[in-house]
Amino acid sequence: MKYVILIPIYNDRESLKLLLENINSEIKDLNHEISIIVINDASSQQIIDNYSNITNINSLEIINMKENRGHARCIASGLKYIYEKKDFDFVIPMDGDGEDRPEEIKNFIQFSEKSNDKSIIGERVKRSESLFFKICYHFHKFLTFVFTGQSIKFGNFTCLSKLTVKKLLDEKSTWNSFSGSLKKIEKDLVSISSIRGKRYFGPSQMSFFNLLKHSLSIISVFRKTVLIRSALFIVFYILLIKSYASVITSIPLVLLLIMIYSISSLALRENIDEFEKSLENIHDIDKVK
């Protein structure tokens, strides 16, 4: 079968080079055609390098974008490019910094061989970040489940069938949140365990603010459910505190309203017209191999 590994990158050339070498090493015994598409999100540093240790990789292209549009939109644009320009059976999106471990690619491919064309997600069973970040991440999962009813324990590291890629391209929320959109369009996903690795170079770029934005972007995909649950909570909470109303007891309501406003604002990022024209943002393509 034919697999395309999709890697969004921004100013992380050293990590990309090491990742490609590690991928090349991990796939050497796999009897499949494996290609790599790198989406360079308008990096300020040069991304192209001397990629010599990629003998097991069938082809390598670096797509250089004109404007930086963010991680989720990099993946969305890459999926569109692959669907329209490449012959493939599965796409494996993964981060370019080492946090998605290349040794797990074999697991995705082995499961895809018997998945009956179902897509596969890598559920995080272990993370390598600080205790504070882990607490924030678990709160993000809890918040998502409470307000959407969806348990989303995976990120970009997945193995997508061609049918799933087509569904994602038809879903406007893919332009805003990859994992949220995948959970929305696919109800029957195959799950495998995945360990979050450590960055090859430098500290993690996922700050508390970025994690919060990431969480709210996922929640915004299911905003109809959020509004219904929020309305029920407001009614119940007002009835509960009506005899004890004060500035302090009103804080949960204020926070809830701020969250609703935030996800409504993030939902405006869903733009199917921009999504459909996303390949116009390509500046040029370096065909390394």
Residue 160: the pLDDT is 97
* Beta bridge partners of residue 64, listed in sequence order: 40, 284
Look at 244 and 77; give whichever has higher pLDDT: 77
Residue 3: the pLDDT is 97
Whether 27 has a pLDDT exceeding 80, the answer reads yes
Do residues 30 and 106 lie in contact, with contact meaning Cβ atoms separated by under 8 Å?
yes
Mean pLDDT lowest for which of 17-26, 55-64, 245-254? 245-254
Res. 8 pLDDT band, cuts 50 70 90: very high
Q: Which of 129, 128, 195 is nearest to 157 (CA)?
A: 195
The secondary structure of 122-179 as a DSSP string is EEEEE--S-HHHHHHHHHHHHHHHHHHS------S-EEEEHHHHHHHHH-GGGGT-HH
Q: Is 7 helix (H, G, I), strand (E, B) or coil?
A: strand
Res. 205 pLDDT band, cuts 50 70 90: low
Q: Which amino acid is at 220?
A: S
> What is the distance between the terminal CA atoms of the chain, rounded to a whole angstrom?
19
Whether 137 has a pLDDT exceeding 80, the answer reads no
Whether 244 has a pLDDT exceeding 90, the answer reads no
Task: Please report, for residues 64, 155, 231, the alpha-carbon distance to residue 99 in angstroms, rounded to integers and kept in the order given.
Answer: 22, 11, 38
Whether 164 has a pLDDT exceeding 90, the answer reads yes
Whether 132 has a pLDDT exceeding 90, the answer reads no
Q: What is the dihedral of CA 240, 245, 246, 247, to 10 degrees?
A: 60
Residue 129: the pLDDT is 60
Residue 289: the pLDDT is 87
When pLDDT is averaged across residues 142-157 and rounded to a whole number, the result is 88
Which domains, and CATH codes, for the chain? 2-282 (3.90.550.10)
- According to DSSP, the β-strands at 120-126 and 190-195 are parallel
Mean pLDDT lowest for which of 75-89, 165-179, 200-214? 200-214
The secondary structure of 38-102 as a DSSP string is EEE-S-SS-------S-TT-SEEEEEEESS---HHHHHHHHHHHHHHH---SEEEE--SSSSB-G
* pLDDT tens profile 79-122: 999 999 999 999 999 999 989 999 999 999 999 998 888 999 99
Report if pTM > 0.85. Answer: yes
Q: Which of 66, 79, 199 is nearest to 127 (CA)?
A: 199
Res. 24 pLDDT band, cuts 50 70 90: very high
Structure tokens, 176: 């805003």
Task: Please report, for residues 58, 188, 212, 246, the alpha-carbon distance to residue 5 in angstroms, rounded to integers and kept in the order given.
Answer: 11, 22, 27, 54
Task: Report the mean per-residue pLDDT for the chain.
Answer: 90
Look at 192 and 49; give whichever has higher pLDDT: 192
Residue 146: the pLDDT is 87
What b-and-e string marks burial along 96-111, b requiring 16 or more CB atoms within 10 Å of the CB? Answer: bbbbbbbebbebbbee
- What percentage of the chain carries pLDDT values higher than 70? 96
Structure tokens, 26: 């991990």
Which residues, including other chains, have CB under 8 Å from residue 225's CB and lie 6 or more apart? 147, 148, 149
The Cα 22–Cα 101 span in angstroms is 9
Look at 135 and 23; give whichever has higher pLDDT: 23
- What percentage of the chain carries pLDDT values higher than 90? 64
Whether 63 has a pLDDT exceeding 90, the answer reads yes
**What is the greatest pairwise CA distance in the chain?**
72
Whether 124 has a pLDDT exceeding 90, the answer reads no
Res. 134 pLDDT band, cuts 50 70 90: confident
Structure tokens, 85: 């320009």
Crossing angle, helix 178-185 and helix 71-85, to 10 degrees? 50
